[in-house]
Structure 1
């Protein structure tokens, strides 16, 4: 009796030193450690990649929107130049051409530029304060086209030539083609950057997954020993990396959204400067539309999904090596 009592006391002491953990609590313990240096590093990498991808996408959306506005404005106008010719009164020719434009169906507004206004257009190249009396400065007439109207440009060119032999009609088609080419090149470059970001994310996730599998190899071998299948183990690791991808994507996406949200205020600081004017002409008001923010949020979720997909592919390849 004394010996049995001593053994019971020993077991009680052992149980006190190592308290038993409930089965449910043991099942809640994750296979992959949630807080690790590799996990924090992967979150930082995914956040940086998401931020760069979001900045690229936002810039492409801004340029595309500005280019669409440019094309809409340019396509809604035609420009007529009346050049000086010896023996002819340029003012009379400009007035005659303006009357021809006003009589043209589909044109809703005609604005002839005066001599002073025409000279002001040359200031960016010739500077201000320069006398242009001796220079053959042409007169410029801008005509606005009604929305949806189709002009007979061939007939219009013939009538303007009759009114003024030196008149030339420009429908800005060359400028529109250049804008389309520029926009297409920017979109192509943006897609290329996004592909590079996705490839870098896949490579980073693959290395992180292999590192996590190497660190937890004894656990994986024990799970295999007790009968756990590859799919069960892969699902546990995939959830871990999906959570890391979502955290990184959320951080990078929100940072990019905040940047674009404050970009209009930042642009206001540089307004009036040459750099600010150039960026304003290229990107407009720097403010994304609501659909742009939706695109950035969807992109962050996509990068998180790519993180989970890349980890799953690497997991099965690594598990096959372990087997």
Structure 2
């Protein structure tokens, strides 16, 4: 807390009055503002981290379209599944633009079905389609139409799925989620600004007589505003730091939990949607920038509010004062 004399040296005469704080010392209102800023920063950091995760995942989905396609073989009476898988895999490997093909084995297929059908599946007793994963050369992809026709000609029960339809819908949903996150972030910022405005006005009301005396005896408005700015900058940085660190801890804990439970279906679903649930350096840098931004925004908003209030005092008549 910054303390100054009750009047500037030019007006104090032969002696200075006992230092009196312009801004009220830490009290219930100050602690409440710090808590509100911490909560706002926590929510804003969570939103920013979620937006980063969704944007990175959408980019991965789009990249996967260019890297990999799937050939599905549906079981049928009289179909030798092992022979069909071998023919499709050989056909895919021989196609220009394909860098590799691999049949999804029984263990991997059972793991994909485990969240819905449970563990201990015997695929020989179930009419489960089998998959061949085809890796694509991104710089020179194959002709998918020709490949799909060749697959159907070799095995009528087989079909090519390039995942473009559902991945396109997921990417569109991800982009919409990012826009919603940005809108929420903007609303949190507006709410923070309004909170600081009301807190600054309350602080001025609590010490109005000191502020008016200083102002009328010659203290510049910029000097008074600077005192409030330093006070609220400290509150803003402390609150923003607490909220930002709490949000980073949440992401770290969820990321650790995901890594520790990679073999479970729940973790697999989270990994499919959000990757490793790590926001990366971009996310950490964004949260740090958010902490500094909210601290600076708190200080600037407080200074602007004080300047406006002092201008309003100047416009009052002596009777109204």
1:248, 1:204 → 2: CA distance? 13
Local SS of the residue matching 2:214: helix
Instruction: Provide the aligned length of Structure 1 versus Structure 2.
Output: 302
Local SS of the residue matching 1:100: helix
Pairwise CA distance, 1:112 = 2.8
Matched, 1:181 2:172: yes
Pairwise CA distance, 1:171 = 0.9
Pairwise CA distance, 1:143 = 0.8
2:249, 2:115 → 1: CA distance? 36
Q: Give the alignment of 1:138-157 within 5 angstroms.
A: 138-157=129-148
Local SS of the residue matching 1:222: helix
2:303 to 286, 294, 312: 312
Local SS of the residue matching 1:143: strand
Pairwise CA distance, 1:208 = 0.4
2:73, 2:293 → 1: CA distance? 56
Partner of 1:110: 101
Distance 1:159 1:32, change over 3 A: same
Distance 1:60 1:85, change over 3 A: same
Highest CA radius of gyration, 1 or 2? 1
Pairwise CA distance, 1:132 = 6.1
Matched, 1:238 2:213: no
Partner of 1:171: 162
2:53, 2:134 → 1: CA distance? 28
2:15, 2:52 → 1: CA distance? 54
- With structure 2 as the length reference, what TM-score do the two structures score? 0.79
Distance 1:98 1:282, change over 3 A: closer
CA-to-partner distance for each residue in 1:78-120, whole Å, 9 max, x for gaps? 1112335667655544433322211111211111346786677
CA-to-partner distance for each residue in 1:260-283, whole Å, 9 max, x for gaps? 344433445666555544434433
Report which stretch shifted further, 76-85 or 100-109. Answer: 76-85
Distance 1:268 1:132, change over 3 A: closer
CA-to-partner distance for each residue in 1:165-186, whole Å, 9 max, x for gaps? 3332111101321221232132
Local SS of the residue matching 2:156: coil
Pairwise CA distance, 1:64 = 2.9
Cα RMSD between the aligned structures?
3.2
Report which stretch shifted further, 275-284 or 140-149. Answer: 275-284
Partner of 2:27: 36
Q: Give the alignment of 1:244-255 within 5 angstroms.
A: 244-255=235-246
Distance 1:276 1:107, change over 3 A: closer
Pairwise CA distance, 1:214 = 0.7
1:318, 1:289 → 2: CA distance? 43
Distance 1:259 1:123, change over 3 A: closer
Partner of 1:208: 199
2:112, 2:298 → 1: CA distance? 54
2:273 to 265, 276, 282: 282
- The gaps in structure 2 that reach 5 residues or longer are 1-13, 315-321
